[in-house]
Amino acid sequence: MRLEEAPFWSAAQADLLREERIDDADWIVVIDQLNLALHADPQVEGEGEGAPER
């Protein structure tokens, strides 16, 4: 699913994200980072990098 297709955006927000991606806007890197973060597996609290060892 593309970022702009996510169900939580308003129509205006989705249109903006779509247009910026198509135009290869200067801030497309930020859009790509947000997309990756939203598609990443969620970390369970207390696990992952920086978590104390048990």
pLDDT exceeds 80 at position 16: yes
Number of domains in the chain: 1
Residue corresponding to tokens 């939203």: 38
pLDDT exceeds 60 at position 48: no
20-43 residue pLDDT tens: 888 887 888 888 888 889 888 887
Question: Is residue 29 situated within a structural domain?
Answer: yes
Question: Is residue 46 situated within a structural domain?
Answer: no
Nearest CA-CA partner of 34 in 11, 50, 16: 16
What average pLDDT is seen over the chain?
82
What is the distance between the alpha carbons of residues 13 and 11, in angstroms, rounded to a whole number?
A: 6
For residue 35, the model assigns a pLDDT of 84
Full residue range of the structural domain in which residue 34 is found: 9-38
